[in-house]
Amino acid sequence: MPTTSIPTPPIGRFAPSPTGELHLGSLTTALASYCHIKSLGGKWLLRIEDTDTERCDRQFTEQILIDLEVLGLHWDDDVVYQSERIDIYNEYLASTLRPLTYGCQCSRKDLEQYWAQQDQIPAHTDTATQLTVLPNRKRYPRRCVTKALDRLRHKLRIQLPDYLIGFHDGIQGQQWGNPQQTLGDMVVRRQDGMINYILAASLDDGLQGVTHIMRGLDILPMTTAQISIMQAARLPAIDRWYHLPLICSPNGQKLSKQNLAQPIDTRDPSQLIATALQLLQQPSVEIDTPARMLKQATAQWDNAPLQGQQQLSLVNK
């Protein structure tokens, strides 16, 4: 059959975890991914990553949606809630990903003991890859991989490949990582059934047809794991990756919910957009309605000032 080539628009997404309100760090991720994908004529999807029922809160989700609306960051298509897609993730675990996943009964305490012993062993060079292997990296030692434990009564881990995977990052440059050496076999489903971030995000990015991922640099260490999970699940690869520098407070601390970054105050959305654009080192935009500011910011969007940067600071802003 002849293949038809109907050009599909690039697809980007913003995927907040509603464990807190948006702060300046998450706002800059939202704004950058929005302006960037819109500058390419693409669609911007919103996915709420709320599989962690202990840490996520419906109130935070609602506030995130309100804040994005007030800022004029209107998403395309319906919002996707990962908490409503648990059956899809479990179906993948029971089918395509079954051969790569295994039940694990090691408790946190067992593993802490194991790692404490490993700390005594000095770093060594891996003969195959010539990379330095640090024994105190908290990698799972694959104790349960051959045990064939009941998959429904134990947490599930995924076997990640032990070879280098490379990808080009449009902001950070060429990247290489060996997911087994850096992350080990990650837990993808907890014993209580909770689906972990890496599995849900990898499957959804593929299933939603995302082509461009722009997100915070803190997630970059997981990208090679995501690439291998998407490949194992036979989902289309992401075309372009971009990991944004992290926003830091003047004392160099990353703004995150963990260190209680202030929620954004959307009473003056135009000023907030101007501040975020300045942090992102974009050409300045006249203060106007959020919609007009975003239009201008999109028209002049440029990744170049962000190239190779790992931190953006609030100092002098």
Enumerate binding residues for ligand GLU (CB under 6 A): 15-17, 49, 201, 215, 219
Shortest spacing between CB 14 and ligand GLU, in angstroms: 7
Phi first, then psi: what are they for 119, rounded to 5°?
Answer: -60, -25
Between 116 and 260, CB nearer to ligand GLU = 260
Shortest spacing between CB 102 and ligand GLU, in angstroms: 25
Note every long-range contact of 122-129, with CB atoms under 8 Å and residues 24 or more positions apart, other chains counting. Answer: 126/181, 129/163, 129/164, 129/178, 129/181
Give me the DSSP letters along 52-63: -TTT--HHHHHH
Shortest spacing between CB 99 and ligand GLU, in angstroms: 25
Question: Which two tokens mark 259?
Answer: 């260190």
Between 21 and 49, CB nearer to ligand GLU = 49
Between 46 and 104, CB nearer to ligand GLU = 46
Between 203 and 232, CB nearer to ligand GLU = 203
Q: What angle do CA 278, 80, 279 make, to 5 degrees?
A: 5
Between 55 and 317, CB nearer to ligand GLU = 55
Shortest spacing between CB 247 and ligand GLU, in angstroms: 13
State the DSSP H helix or E strand holding residue 207, giving kind and residue range, or none if neither: helix 197-207
Shortest spacing between CB 167 and ligand GLU, in angstroms: 14
Q: In this chain, which residue has its C-beta nearest to ligand GLU?
A: 215
**Contact indicator for 217, 175 with CB cutoff of 8 Å:** no
